[in-house]
Amino acid sequence: MSDNEKSQIEKRGSTRRTFLKNSGLAVGGLILGGAVGSIFDGNSDSDVKTEQKNQTQGNNPNEALMFFYPEEYQTTAAAAERIFPKDETGPGALELNAAIYIDHQLNSGWGVNEKDYKLGPYYKPEPTQGEQVKLYRKDLFRLGLKELNAYSNKNYQKKFTDLDATGQDEVLAAFEKGEASSLSGVSSSAFFQLLRTLTIEGVYADPLYGGNKEMLGWQMRKYPGSRMGYTKEIQSKDFVKLDPNSLQSHMKH
Amino acid sequence: MAKKLSKVPVVIVGMGWAGGIIASELTKAGIKVVGLERGKERDMSDYSMVHDELRFQHREELMQDLSKETITHRNNLKMRALPMRSYGTFIVGEGLGGAGSHWNGQTYRFLPYDFEIRSLTEKRYGKNKIKSDYPIQDWGITYDDMEPYYDTFEKMAGISGETVELYGKRSNPYPTGPMIKTPVLAEFEQAAKKLGYKPYMIPSANLSENYKNPDGISRSACQYCAYCENFGCEYGAKADPVVTVIPVAKETGNLDLRTYSNVTRIVNDGRKATGVIYVDTFTGEEFEQPAEVVVLASYVFNNVRLLLNSKLGTPYDPKTKNGVIGKNYCYQVSSGYSSLYYNDREFNIYGGAGALGIEIPDFAGDNFDHSDVNFLHGAGIRTTQYGNRPIANNNSPIGTPSWGAEFKKQSIKYANSILQVKSQGASMPHTQNYLDLDPTYKDVYGMPLMRMTYDYTAQDRELVKYMAKVTRSIAKKMGPDHIDTVAEQGDFNVNTDTNTHNTGGVIMGTDPNDSAVNTYLQMWDAENVFVAGSSAFPHNSSFNPTGTLGAFSYRAAEGIVKYLKKGGSLV
């Protein structure tokens, strides 16, 4: 990694802290769950400095919302963190910006099922026939977030982000089993699967999509990202750990 | 009204391996060819941003746009077929190179047993071994007849491999040596040898060394970058029509390649075709391209669908068992496997290649005694090293939750510490497994979609159980800390099964009553229509189909040249 790239990444880290602080996106449930960790640990001096820099340079413009409203983002970030929580192996979905990734994906052609077969009629499928969901992914996701809060309020008298980690896990498990109310006729388990899939993608897709911040998702599992080849490494009996590269490195070729 | 263009000698529908090979052979022979491809044009430089798991694997960049066309599926005649709305299973290629751009590159020959499967089975086990609801047929050609075509295909593609004693005889060694036997593959090798099996390196279209083919095309060696399946090769190390046969065809000046051209119908009078109708996918404008010979070389499903939508050939009827178009659709069975978890060892499995693997031939075809088992044919038992990409590979022992703290812990712990011993089994045809037109669903051009009626058979389920045991015995010898074996073949699920080795529907043979094409892939019912691709296979072997598809494409090209000179049936 060049020094220039390194300093870019450092700046990005600070920017994120500022972003969360300024926009009031501190997620209650995550603090209670102990999962949010270092994001809020930055000392205030450096935050002030970053803020000044920020206003002039606008670092990492990718960390902004093109689809979610702030509360939806907050709920998504909290739910994704339960799918892929921070632990001793490393950061969770929140720190890795999985929710930023999800925001961007839902606003893409994929969010409106552009490559899916959408002509009717729609019938209830047998278990072997795949989903027959008429809703766009972006709409299903939005309905699912709303229901996360509705379900939490009904069963715990709190909104989802105000639940502790155990409570959030219980709610998500109910969604996984399809026990929450249907989302315009679609099972809550379909929403859960979408959330799970998007979270894993947001943790491990190339950083160009907004998640896998600083390639820390890859780092955690010793994945080297995209490199030109591994002819030497695959012949080694010992494990060869390489620093990850992102696709950006291929722009030079 | 379609705009009528001027007549050409040959029009090819689909420019993947089959279309590319036929175009290359015909244009080299001085024949003018129009190649119609519904997707985009591609060349190697388009692959430079290909190390993007999300874009190419999970968003299916190189695959057909299902919003325009998909298949419908039901497990049996009693069910209502529903459309496959997004990709879960078959990934069907689109664009120049077709599936030949996104494949893994595993390039086998089928066995002598495959080509004469009914005769050889009856000879060894008696007439009653094949049950009446399994329309297993000889192909009408032998392995020895096919050997020179395999040889030609392998030389064109530069296949890397080593000779296997238990398979058909080769006239030449593989044009390039086997790929690197990594420590991972050596683990399998040692275990298999201890059990008395004869492991060999999987034949690979990812070059093990720099290679120049007989057409003068030079390509460089594989770098084991781990992006083959679903991806195009940025080095050209993986044989792909885009870097082999298509440039050769273009070079002759005899290929008129038209991309974004989606063929919807074959114009015909029931005995002969006069050309095809295609749509410009951007403008919607329709064209009629008259031709002396029409070659269908699109994917299995679309070959069948085009014939049915054009009312060419007699559709198969599962009740009367008459008719041939749509008959003997086969798949493959890969549900028997073992996952090996190591607590204290890590392997460099982030690297690899789509055809980097090792396999035993001992349970393929009729290489073992089937007297006491309730299935025919067999499976390749193998360990591969494709490169474990992180979105797709989050393995953890059975019983681990699929999300949350434990999921994260386990999937990261084993990210570089899991190996697999897998099986890929043959698929035998069944009278109730077939392809026809869907009565309800249509594509964006208003043509009926293809309907697949398919489920695994009793034969498949027995085979999976048996092969799973073999994978487990090898896995044990490899000495991991934990083994999970999956040994049950569930119902066919269009959303989760993950194999794109579809075959049949326009099968070859010697009798127009039970086959649609002869062994030159020339239609019995319309002598100037050739239907190339794995749609011609009467059953599916345990091997990846491309090598055999390629060999038959060379044979079809030879047939077309003959037909253009003399006309009439080639057999």
Residue extents of the structural domains in chain B:
3-72+87-566
Q: Are residues A49 and A82 in the same domain?
A: yes
A13 in any annotated domain: no
Amino acid at A27: V
pLDDT-derived band at B495, boundaries 50, 70, 90: confident
- CA angle at residue B323 from B320 to B329, to 5 degrees? 95
Q: What angle, rounded to 10 degrees, do the helices at A188-204 and A165-176 form?
A: 120
Q: Which domain holds residue A247?
A: 224-253
Mean pLDDT of A151-164: 98
B499: Cβ contacts below 8 Å, ≥ 6 apart: B89, B90, B331, B332, B334, B424
- As a residue count, chain A comes to 253
Q: Which of A87, A90, A114 sits opposite B67 (nearest CB)?
A: A114
A11 in any annotated domain: no
A125 in any annotated domain: no
Segment A181-238, tens digit of pLDDT: 999 999 999 999 999 999 999 999 999 999 999 999 999 999 999 999 999 999 999 9
Tell me whether the omega of the peptide bond preceding residue A121 falls within 30 degrees of 0, making it cis: yes
Name the closest residue on chain A to residue B58, using Cα atoms: A201
Q: Which of A84, A131, A206 sits opposite B54 (nearest CB)?
A: A206
Q: Which of B67, B385, B440 sits opposite A121 (nearest CB)?
A: B440
Kindly determine whether residue A250 and residue B48, on different chains, have CB atoms separated by under 8 Å.
Answer: yes
Q: Which of A121, A169, A196 sits opposite B402 (nearest CB)?
A: A196
Separation between Cα atoms, residue B119 and residue B509, nearest integer Å: 14
Kindly determine whether residue B403 and residue A196, on different chains, have CB atoms separated by under 8 Å.
Answer: yes
Kindly determine whether residue B75 and residue A118, on different chains, have CB atoms separated by under 8 Å.
Answer: no
> How distant is the Cα of A85 from the closest Cα of chain B, in angstroms?
6
C-alpha B43: how far from chain center: 22
Q: Are residues A135 and A215 in the same domain?
A: yes
C-alpha A97: how far from chain center: 5
A237 in any annotated domain: yes
Q: Are residues A214 and A230 in the same domain?
A: no
> How distant is the Cα of B210 from the closest Cα of chain A, in angstroms?
14
Q: Are residues A214 and A234 in the same domain?
A: no
Q: Are residues A199 and A232 in the same domain?
A: no
- Residue A58: per-residue pLDDT: 53
> How distant is the Cα of A125 from the closest Cα of chain B, in angstroms?
7
pLDDT-derived band at A11, boundaries 50, 70, 90: very low
Separation between Cα atoms, residue B36 and residue A66, nearest integer Å: 40
Kindly determine whether residue B225 and residue A117, on different chains, have CB atoms separated by under 8 Å.
Answer: no
Asked whether the beta carbons of B353 and B154 are under 8 A apart, the reply is no
Q: Count how many domains chain A has.
A: 2
Superfamily of domain B3-72+87-566: FAD/NAD(P)-binding domain (3.50.50.60)
Secondary-structure breakdown of chain B: helix, strand, coil percentages, each rounded to the nearest 5: 25, 20, 55
Q: Is the pLDDT of residue A110 over 70?
A: yes
Which candidate in B75, B403, B445 is best for mutational testing of the A interface (most A CBs within 10 A)? B403
A123 in any annotated domain: no
Kindly determine whether residue B67 and residue A115, on different chains, have CB atoms separated by under 8 Å.
Answer: yes
- Residue B499: per-residue pLDDT: 85
For A20, the token pair is 């969360």
Separation between Cα atoms, residue B560 and residue B539, nearest integer Å: 24
3-state DSSP call for residue B287?
A: strand
Q: Is the pLDDT of residue A21 over 70?
A: no
Separation between Cα atoms, residue A163 and residue A158, nearest integer Å: 6
What is the number of H-type helices and E-type strands within chain A? Answer: 9, 0
Asked whether the beta carbons of B375 and B117 are under 8 A apart, the reply is no
Q: Are residues A101 and A139 in the same domain?
A: yes
Asked whether the beta carbons of A212 and A62 are under 8 A apart, the reply is no
- Residue B19: per-residue pLDDT: 98
- Residue A44: per-residue pLDDT: 39
Taking CB atoms and an 8 Å cutoff, what residues of chain A touch B492? 128
Mean pLDDT of B195-219: 98
Mean pLDDT of A39-43: 35
Separation between Cα atoms, residue B356 and residue B387, nearest integer Å: 9
- Residue A253: per-residue pLDDT: 60
In chain B, the percentage of residues whose pLDDT exceeds 90 is 97
Separation between Cα atoms, residue B60 and residue B99, nearest integer Å: 12
Q: Are residues A36 and A157 in the same domain?
A: yes
pTM for the full model?
A: 0.92
What mean pLDDT is reported for chain A? Answer: 83
Specify whether the backbone of B504 is left (phi greater than 0), alpha (psi in -120 to 50) or beta.
left
> How distant is the Cα of B558 from the closest Cα of chain A, in angstroms?
38
Asked whether the beta carbons of A46 and A73 are under 8 A apart, the reply is no
The Cα-based distances of A203 to A76, A90, A97, A197 in angstroms read 14, 12, 8, 10
Q: Are residues A112 and A195 in the same domain?
A: yes
Which candidate in B45, B65, B85 is best for mutational testing of the A interface (most A CBs within 10 A)? B85
B285 CB-contact burial (10 Å; exposed 0-12 / middle 13-18 / buried 19+): exposed
Q: Are residues A209 and A228 in the same domain?
A: no
What mean pLDDT is reported for chain B? Answer: 97
Mean pLDDT of B502-524: 98
Taking CB atoms and an 8 Å cutoff, what residues of chain B touch A176? 403
Mean pLDDT of B223-227: 97
A6: Cβ contacts below 8 Å, ≥ 6 apart: none
Mean pLDDT of B332-346: 96
Asked whether the beta carbons of B301 and B435 are under 8 A apart, the reply is yes
Query: Look-up: residue for tokens 């590269």?
Result: A245
Q: How many CB pairs under 8 A join A and B?
A: 176
A60 in any annotated domain: yes
Kindly determine whether residue B85 and residue A85, on different chains, have CB atoms separated by under 8 Å.
Answer: no
A198 in any annotated domain: yes
CA atoms within 13 A of residue A206's CA, in its CB half-sphere:
20
Asked whether the beta carbons of B428 and B330 are under 8 A apart, the reply is yes
Kindly determine whether residue A129 and residue B346, on different chains, have CB atoms separated by under 8 Å.
Answer: no
Segment B103-123, tens digit of pLDDT: 999 999 999 999 999 999 999
Which candidate in B47, B50, B51 is best for mutational testing of the A interface (most A CBs within 10 A)? B51
Separation between Cα atoms, residue B265 and residue B282, nearest integer Å: 18
Asked whether the beta carbons of A129 and B495 are under 8 A apart, the reply is yes
Separation between Cα atoms, residue B185 and residue B188, nearest integer Å: 5
Q: Are residues A185 and A253 in the same domain?
A: no
- CA angle at residue B432 from B430 to B433, to 5 degrees? 70
For B285, the token pair is 């404008």
B173: Cβ contacts below 8 Å, ≥ 6 apart: B163
Write down the ipTM of this complex. 0.95
Separation between Cα atoms, residue B233 and residue B221, nearest integer Å: 11
Q: Is the pLDDT of residue A93 over 80?
A: yes
Which candidate in B82, B179, B450 is best for mutational testing of the A interface (most A CBs within 10 A)? B82
Segment B422-438, tens digit of pLDDT: 999 999 999 999 999 99
pLDDT-derived band at B1, boundaries 50, 70, 90: confident
Q: Which of B86, B408, B493 sits opposite A89 (nearest CB)?
A: B408
CB atoms within 10 A of CB B123: 11
Kindly determine whether residue B412 and residue A220, on different chains, have CB atoms separated by under 8 Å.
Answer: yes
Catalytic residues of B: 501
Q: Are residues A65 and A96 in the same domain?
A: yes
Handedness of CA B23, B26, B28, B33 (dihedral sign): negative
Separation between Cα atoms, residue A181 and residue A147, nearest integer Å: 7
DSSP assignment, residue A161? G
Q: Is the pLDDT of residue A155 over 60?
A: yes
The Cα-based distances of B350 to A154, B395, B418 in angstroms read 45, 14, 11
pLDDT-derived band at A59, boundaries 50, 70, 90: confident
Kindly determine whether residue B53 and residue A206, on different chains, have CB atoms separated by under 8 Å.
Answer: yes
A87 in any annotated domain: yes
* Cα–Cα nearest to B356, from B392, B382, B389: B382
Amino acid at B532: A
A229 — phi, psi (to 5°)? 180, 165
DSSP assignment, residue B182? -
Q: Which of A118, A221, A240 sits opposite B390 (nearest CB)?
A: A221
